[in-house]
Amino acid sequence: MAQRTPSASRTKKKGSATATPKQVAIEPCGDQDQDVDGPQQRQLLPCGTTVYGHGDFQRLFCCFVILTLIVLQCHSQATSLIARPVVHWYKPPSKFADLSTSRWKNFGIPLDDPASASCRSFWNLVCHRTWLLTLGNAVHMSGALFVVPVAGCMADAYRRKLVIASGVAVLLLSTLGTSFTRSYRLHLVTRFLLRLRQYRLRNLPHILLYEVAPLTYRVFYVGISCSLGVLLVDVSQMKPAAFPLSWYVLQDVILSPTAPLVLATCTVRESPAWLLVLSRVDEAEAIVLEAARMNDVHRVTARQAICRGYALT
Q: What angle do CA 56, 44, 208 make, to 5 degrees?
A: 35
**Mean pLDDT for the chain overall:** 73
Angstrom distance (rounded) from CA 165 to CA 268: 9
User: Of 66, 80, 75, whose CA–CA distance to 254 is shortest?
Assistant: 75
Segment 185-200 mean pLDDT:
79
Segment 128-142 mean pLDDT:
80
Judge residue 128's burial from the number of C-beta atoms within 10 Å of its C-beta, 0-12 exposed, 13-18 middle, 19 or more buried.
Answer: exposed
Which pLDDT score is estimated for 1? 44
Which pLDDT score is estimated for 247? 81
Which pLDDT score is estimated for 248? 81
Q: CA distances (Å), 219 to each of 51, 152, 169, 210, 272, in order? A: 19, 21, 30, 9, 20
Which pLDDT score is estimated for 11? 41
Segment 213-234 mean pLDDT:
85
Angstrom distance (rounded) from CA 128 to CA 265: 44
Which pLDDT score is estimated for 158? 78
Residue 13 has pLDDT above 60, yes or no: no
Residue 17 has pLDDT above 60, yes or no: no
Percent of the chain at pLDDT above 90? 3
Length of the chain equals: 313
Percent of the chain at pLDDT above 70? 70
The tens digit of pLDDT for each residue in 234-282 reads 777 666 656 667 788 888 888 888 889 989 998 888 888 888 778 787 8
Which pLDDT score is estimated for 184? 86
Segment 217-238 mean pLDDT:
83
Which pLDDT score is estimated for 89? 58
In three state form, how does the secondary structure of 173-188 look? HHHHHHHHCCCHHHHH
Segment 136-155 mean pLDDT:
74
Which pLDDT score is estimated for 67? 92
User: Of 308, 79, 305, 65, whose CA–CA distance to 184 is shortest?
Assistant: 79
Residue 147 has pLDDT above 50, yes or no: yes
User: 21 in the Ramachandran plot: left (φ > 0), alpha (ψ -120 to 50) or beta?
Assistant: beta
Angstrom distance (rounded) from CA 67 to CA 233: 10
Q: CA distances (Å), 142 to each of 98, 99, 124, 136, in order? A: 45, 43, 24, 10
The tens digit of pLDDT for each residue in 36-91 reads 344 433 333 343 345 777 888 889 989 999 999 888 888 888 888 888 777 665 66
Which pLDDT score is estimated for 64? 93
**What superfamily does domain 60-78+116-267 belong to in CATH?**
MFS general substrate transporter like domains (1.20.1250.20)
Q: Do 78 and 171 touch, CB atoms closer than 8 A?
A: no
Which pLDDT score is estimated for 88? 61
Q: Which residue has the higher pLDDT, 229 or 88?
A: 229
Which pLDDT score is estimated for 65? 92
Segment 184-190 mean pLDDT:
85
Q: What DSSP assignment string belongs to 238-267?
A: HHHHHS---HHHHHHHHTTTHHHHHHHGGG
